[in-house]
A and B are shown apart, each in its own frame.
Chain A
């Protein structure tokens, strides 16, 4: 069974803290994505990566950075967390060939106080 796992389901951090969200996939997918989900706004793409050490900005990259040192792992970093980054964060992966569907992790609900 294919799997995308995220390091935490719930996370509470203080304003100004550096936050790491980890995502691991076991499908040998080339592409990995970080989305943010807010009510009424759907999924908004923060960053994606199409290969190790390769990344591209999505629609809302401000305040975030990413790291992909290994094919199976894609990390989202909040350099200095702010309250407006309180949200649900979803990681996904997909293959560059074949069916293109994305596989999602269970999500991390981050609260910044």
Chain B
């Protein structure tokens, strides 16, 4: 079955430190991959996406992600975290084969220490 796993429920980093959020997926073909961010009480905002081509993709707010087919991973990174990055981050795959459905991970909540 298709699935998305975000193994870290919570992550705490200090402001200015680097960040990596993990995402693993299970999917038969090369997927469309997305990272979204959700600030408290808000909807989800797209950070970046991967469809094909260069496996390192750049997004908004200084984020990047790398698609690694051999590891079925699409990890999100940022070299220097800002206090405003505190939010919940969701990895998603979709639309899944034969449908219009997307599959989301359960999210990683990021806390940033001043």
Please give the residue numbers on chain A whose beta carbons come within 8 Å of chain B beta carbons, in ascending order. Answer: 4, 31, 33, 40-43, 45, 48, 50, 56, 58, 90, 92, 94, 96, 99-107, 109
Min CB distance A37 to B, Å, is 9
Interface 0/1 of B76-114, CB less than 8 Å to A:
000000000000001010110001111011110000000
- Nearest residue (CB) in B for A44 is B104
**What secondary structure prevails in chain A residues at the interface with B?**
strand
CA–CA, A18 and B34, complex, Å: 35
Contacts of B30 on A, CB cut-off 8 Å?
A: none
Contacts of B107 on A, CB cut-off 8 Å?
A: 42
Subset of 14 A-B contacts with CB under 8 Å = A4-B43, A42-B104, A42-B107, A43-B90, A45-B102, A48-B101, A56-B99, A90-B43, A92-B44, A94-B100, A99-B49, A99-B51, A100-B95, A109-B41
